[in-house]
Amino acid sequence: MFDTSANKKLVEVDGLKMYFPIYTGLLRRHTGNVKAVDGVSFDILEGETLGLVGESGCGKSTCGRAILRLYEPTAGSIKIDGEEIANVGFDKLRKMRPTMQMVFQDPQASLNPRMTVAAIIGEPLSEHSGKSRSDQLDRIYELMDAVGLNRDFANRYPHEFSGGQRQRIGIARALALNPKFIVCDEPIAALDVSIQAQVVNLLEDLQKQFGLTYLFISHDLSMVRHIADRVAVMYLGKVVELAPREDLYADPLHPYTKALLSAVPEPDPVAHDNANRTILQGDVPSPSNPPEGCNFCTRCPSVMDICRKIDPEFREVRPGRFVACHLLNDTKMPADPTAAVEA
């Protein structure tokens, strides 16, 4: 298990907001915002993998892109290796790019079809490293070896590769500048199930080899359990629970986390038939018009009157466990929040 006491904070996100403006009418007036990320805070330690999970549309990928300044954040603080990047100029941001990289979800769409593998992997080197052409080529071959690609394929084009091989190209490109922090935005979602485990094992091996730190974004809860050290659960733009992996899977505290984990398929037919599943009613509210109070109050099976009026504070309720839920504001509450409501 990852030792959280021995490592310093590499990534510090505090109150991150990412709003997309809505313009309507002939005059294109600003009439509202899509609150894709709405006040997210967490830290990632050096060498750690933080899993970020939630259903589609909850803001996971937007959060990852905003952390790397691929989107301009609306508000909040983002520190990587002690450097504030949320509001720095583009010249300074460009110098910090080698520290932080991204592996994208769709390996086909993220690779330029007109460039060879060598050109794709070498592009960050030509932009940032200042190395000679021969040194760049040596580095390209090293990276291809590291991710398990044959050097003889260096002059081929992306369409000549399988999905898993394309993702390996994307990973090699992300490693080119020796980054400390990599955002993995659902890196296995577009791959065959038989290839997913290979790519995840590759990411783990590279993490040990190069001392990498990951933000691993996924909706595959079983894969997150395999790779992550801690897990953050998002719902409608906010983190509702953050906990060490084993604690979260063994004893989820937030009602949404309980519902999310109960939906994980069970391979054992008997256990599948006997599973106690939480079925949420209704649809996810629109991020352009979230409910008053807690974002989850419209679907929560344990909702109280206060939930519809006051947004719960995201705070530490047990050592290392952070939850945003009124059911856990009293530390003397029982472990099962539904029991408190029934009582």
What pLDDT digit, counting tens, does each position of 26-69 carry? 899 999 999 999 999 999 999 999 999 998 889 999 999 999 99
Which domains are present in the chain? Answer: 9-342 (3.40.50.300)
Angle subtended at Cα 60 by Cα 292 and Cα 283, rounded to the nearest 5 degrees: 45
Q: What are phi and psi of 183, to 5 degrees?
A: -90, 120
| Token code pair at residue 259 | 């519902």
Pick the closest to residue 153 from 107, 121, 196, 105 (CA basis). Answer: 121
User: What's the rounded Cα separation, in Å, for the pair 108 and 118?
Assistant: 16
Helix (H, G, I), strand (E, B) or coil at 126: helix
Using CA atoms, how far residue 166 sits from 154, 172, 175, 183, 190, in Å, is 12, 10, 14, 17, 11
Percentage of the chain surpassing pLDDT 90? 74
Question: Which H helix or E strand runs over 105?
Answer: none
Label the pairing between strands 181-185 and 213-217: parallel
User: Residues 6, 322: contact at Cβ < 8 Å?
Assistant: no
Bridge partners of 80? Answer: 11, 83
35 torsion bin: left (phi>0), alpha (psi -120 to 50), beta (else): beta
User: Residues 183, 110: contact at Cβ < 8 Å?
Assistant: no
Label the pairing between strands 75-80 and 83-84: antiparallel
pLDDT by residue, tens only, the chain of 343 residues: 566 555 799 999 999 999 999 999 889 999 999 999 999 999 999 999 999 999 888 999 999 999 999 999 999 999 999 999 999 999 999 999 999 999 998 888 999 999 999 999 999 999 888 889 999 999 999 999 999 999 999 999 999 999 899 999 999 999 999 999 999 999 988 888 888 889 999 999 999 999 999 999 998 888 999 999 999 999 999 999 999 999 999 999 999 999 999 877 777 666 555 667 777 888 889 999 999 999 999 999 999 999 999 999 999 999 999 999 999 875 333 444 444 434 3
